[in-house]
Structure 1
Amino acid sequence: MSVRNLCIAVAAASAVLFGAAGAALAQSAPIEAYAALPAIDGVSVSPDGSALAYIRRSPDGDTVVAQARTGEALVTIDVSDRAARFVFWASPDHVVISSTINDKLPYTTSPGLYEQLDIVNVRTRRVARALGSADKAILTASFGPATVGTYRGRPVMYLRTYTVENNAYTYDVYRVDLDDGRGRLHQTGAEDTSSYVIRPDGEVLARTTYDGETGAWRLLARRGGNWNELLSRRSLLDRPAILGFGRSDETVLLSEDREDGPVLVEISLADGSEVAQHDNAGADNIVRDGAGHMVGISRQGLTQSYSLFDPAHQANWDRLVQGLAGRQLFLTDTDDDLSVMVFRAEGAGEPGSTYLFDAERQSVNLIGREYPGLTAADVAEVSAVRYKAADGMDLIGYLTKPTGREARNLPLIVLPHGGPAARDKAGFDWWSQALASRGYAVFQPQFRGSEGFGQTLLEAGYGEWGRKMQSDLADGVKYLADAGMVDASRVCIVGASYGGYAALAGMTLDDGVYRCAVSVAGISDLPEFLAVERREGGRSRFNEGLRYWQRFMGVTSDVDPSLAERSPARLISRIEGPVLLIHGRDDTVVPFEQSRIMDRAMRAAGKDVELVSLAGEDHYMSFPATRRQMLTETIKFLEEHNPPR
């Protein structure tokens, strides 16, 4: 995600976004250095700006560290027994650790990944489980966003979750004590309540409702003790979303798809009128102050940018960008008034470092480096490549070129992203960088159906699963081969999740393009996948997940005959090269059975296949050992079947 040079004039359709600072590699860094989870992750600054908290990973285990900015250690918590995802401050004295657990919990029908929140008092060093007890029966693993604040002068956290009574569910707000974790019912919702907007003092100013059967969505505001409807919509997919407060607590921020495209507008809580509309182009996050007010927008185009409303804040950010020229900066956290900012930097051969900016001192200090096992020379050059699909649609891809090798007749790995409504970003990507370090060019196409490049590209993917979403990848290969950058006879495809499906489809639907494939947690049998989603996700008229998959597959039933025509496991006779299947045993997104189906079908047909199961791994490559195993097996397979030299 880093950028070495944002303003390079480029020939043809390729723009260099960042590159290695060194010359040709004398020796590649070990696989472990790329596969490692970041050594320092999720740095958060306390509301008053005086302390930091972060996840620290090492061979000895993972810990959450809280420390004063002066360097004094406040507390260290061992989190090696869980998948710690991020940390945040709930008060100047309390850090919350968000982790995921893979389990089947009460009131649920099947195992899944669930959030667990542990609250650490950095003064007393006591740890409490959020909602470990409550005055109602609750679904403790289905938290909505947390609002940190106070209640009668005491620091608390307001959590959204489901109350379960008499086999009925209501989506409610619980007030959580930060020292003992106990939850007390703060606001009762209804079965169709879907979100809340809460002030830090606990006043609930707005809520939304949604009926999954009819698609009816409503925004309601509380005035004088009554709930008044401000807006209503009807949408079975792409329902509107309230993203918290606008620039004050008199407005809320509405994100909505309209006929002329997506909008981001502030809605008055007094009468539902539109107070202001913000540029939604490339918007990917909202910057907020300690009161929850919107103070800026981050946008991701080819690179990341920030628009901060306060001129002083914007001037500070601009100075950081200028002072670290050639790097891509990501604002990750701030204190309550944005006088202290935590940001990440990537670029100029740097895979990622976290810094702290102090506005009063106008100082920048390094907090830590994410990949200490990698040097500047271990980060290969990344370029943005523009090309056209066969039907003329303009597309973009990111090309990572191996350091020290001319971009001529290179062996190529196509690495499509998951989602499919997701995207890659320019910068350090551990997977593509690891493959490039072994001598491969790596191409990450932003095929139709990808998000972040405009609504037109996203919607062009609807119904194109296994069709034009797939041919967009092969069209990128053709462009690179015609330009002489890659050798068309030495191309393999690798991907995870939807990208894993695309890898298998590359061997069955794209004749002669790929000589081998690696599918990580990929879907192989579309009818079976949809049947499981229907069975475990609930009735289809309420099942938004099922509607999402059907939209991209272009079907309304899991017995649609076109699904079999696009299912790699049912097209085994077309496979000419070897296939490696890798899948986490505890995957709750794409069942492990999807890889077993492909493995059995290929073996029955006498095809070259290997299945590697990752014990204890989920869908997200969350654990260092299995992440390293996946990368090691992938590179071993590629070097055997598509040698880099």
Structure 2
Amino acid sequence: MHLFSNIKILLISFVTIVSIWSHVILASNVDFDPISQDIPAIDKNFPPSFHEVFIPVNDYKLTGFILQANGKGPHPTAVLLHGLPGNEKNLDLAQSLRRAGFNVLFFHYSGAWGSQGDYSFSGLHKDVLAAFAFLRKNAEQYLVDIEKISVVGHSFGGYAALRSGSIDDNLSCVVGLSAANPAVIAQSSRVAPKGDENIGGFGGYIDSLFMLNNTSGKKATEEIMANIKEMDTRDYGKALVGKNILLVVGEQDSVTPAALQKDLLNHYQKVPDLKVESHIIAGDHAFSYSRIKLQKLVVYWMINHCL
């Protein structure tokens, strides 16, 4: 009897200790801010890590990397998309998402920044779909929770996020930051021809982007003009039902103005059962002076909606 009593006492003591430590850990996590603090405890067997990856598309590959989160996983995973051409990569947001427990896959589109293939506006979403497929195929290797894949895109990447999100039925969340609408761009004076030899400011800008392979202002403009209907983000609402949608734009954004997001939101709010949240915060197109605010908004929203 004494033996069983001692065992019982030991078990009760062990459970009590575990309970106390569990509360201590939970309490510490309540105070942890992934935007401003490093991870308080690193899993020695599964620490945060960096992996170069090559994503197959057709007969070529896209260059990218995965920021793998702390712990055994599997982890919710965000695909992070840059814009045109991709100078602002939002990698501060990527690191904050990783500290919050997300894996992050970042890559360059076909024909951009060293990725193989030709750059194509109408092909951006196909690259994103290939990235989703890559994560699902290699989920065990990179500790990916395939039931919790999200996409976060900035500018033209916002367009690509919304379009790919409207096609892939198995995503958790879609986030558009200063999301472009190619259909609106195509109808603007920036693209409208100014004489036989001139295609306006947009085309001229494209001509300067030497990091985009085998494209030109004329080619890009013709491509967008020929695909206006398919590239209009306002028409994606019904196909986005079932996912959580976040839209964020800078109040001082002159590239994709807040009015553009308001128009998009107006269309999405008319779609029954579509869960969409919209924010206008201080900032230009790259959120140059509101990076912390942007990260807090996106990261904590994703913690609440995408885990």
Partners of 2:86 and 2:296 lie apart in 1 by: 28
- The aligned residue for residue 449 of structure 1 is 111
Q: Deviations over 1:553-599 (max 9, x none)?
A: 85527653x22112221122111212110000111122222212221
2:169 aligned to which of 491, 508, 512: 512
Q: Go from structure 1 to structure 2 and tell me whether the alpha carbon gap of 1:588 and 1:423 turns closer, same or farther (over 3 Å shift).
A: closer
Partners of 2:84 and 2:246 lie apart in 1 by: 21
Report runs of 4+ in structure 1 exceeding 6 Å deviation. 375-379, 535-540
The DSSP-based 3-state class of the residue aligned with 2:81 is coil
Partners of 1:628 and 1:584 lie apart in 2 by: 13
Partners of 2:92 and 2:270 lie apart in 1 by: 35
- The aligned residue for residue 33 of structure 2 is 30
Partners of 1:448 and 1:535 lie apart in 2 by: 23
The DSSP-based 3-state class of the residue aligned with 1:500 is helix
- AA in 2 matched with 1:545: F
Q: Deviations over 1:228-279 (max 9, x none)?
A: xxxxxxxxxxxxxxxxxxxxxxxxxxxxxxxxxxxxxxxxxxxxxxxxxxxx
The DSSP-based 3-state class of the residue aligned with 2:119 is coil
Q: CA deviation at 1:376?
A: 10
Q: Deviations over 1:375-409 (max 9, x none)?
A: 897994221122322x2322222111112x12x52
Structure 1 residues 384-423: aligned runs within 5 Å = 384-389=52-57, 391-403=58-70, 405-406=71-72, 408-420=73-85
Q: CA deviation at 1:531?
A: 2.2
- AA in 1 matched with 2:253: D
Asked whether the equivalents of residues 178 and 285 of structure 2 are also in contact (C-alpha less than 8 Å), the reply is yes
- AA in 2 matched with 1:413: A
Asked whether 1:609 is paired with 2:272, we answer: no
- AA in 2 matched with 1:383: H
1:633 aligned to which of 277, 282, 297: 297
Partners of 2:200 and 2:171 lie apart in 1 by: 36
- How many percent of aligned residue pairs carry the same amino acid? 18
Asked whether the equivalents of residues 68 and 142 of structure 2 are also in contact (C-alpha less than 8 Å), the reply is no
Q: Deviations over 1:200-244 (max 9, x none)?
A: xxxxxxxxxxxxxxxxxxxxxxxxxxxxxxxxxxxxxxxxxxxxx
Q: Go from structure 1 to structure 2 and tell me whether the alpha carbon gap of 1:538 and 1:433 turns closer, same or farther (over 3 Å shift).
A: farther
**More helix by percentage:** 2
Partners of 1:473 and 1:434 lie apart in 2 by: 21
2:97 aligned to which of 427, 435, 452: 435
Q: CA deviation at 1:32?
A: 4.7
Partners of 2:300 and 2:259 lie apart in 1 by: 24
Q: Work out the number of aligned pairs and report it.
A: 263
**More strand by percentage:** 1
RMSD of aligned residue pairs (Cα, Å): 3.3
TM-score between both structures, scaled by the size of structure 2 = 0.73
- The aligned residue for residue 528 of structure 1 is 184
Q: Greater relative contact order: 1 or 2 (C-alpha under 8 angstroms, separation 6 or more)?
A: 2
TM-score between both structures, scaled by the size of structure 1 = 0.37
Larger Rg: 1
Q: Go from structure 1 to structure 2 and tell me whether the alpha carbon gap of 1:476 and 1:600 turns closer, same or farther (over 3 Å shift).
A: same
Q: CA deviation at 1:479?
A: 3.3
1:500 aligned to which of 140, 158, 170: 158
The DSSP-based 3-state class of the residue aligned with 1:599 is helix
Asked whether 1:581 is paired with 2:247, we answer: yes
- The aligned residue for residue 147 of structure 2 is 489
Asked whether the equivalents of residues 387 and 395 of structure 1 are also in contact (C-alpha less than 8 Å), the reply is yes
Q: CA deviation at 1:630?
A: 1.7
Q: CA deviation at 1:423?
A: 8.5
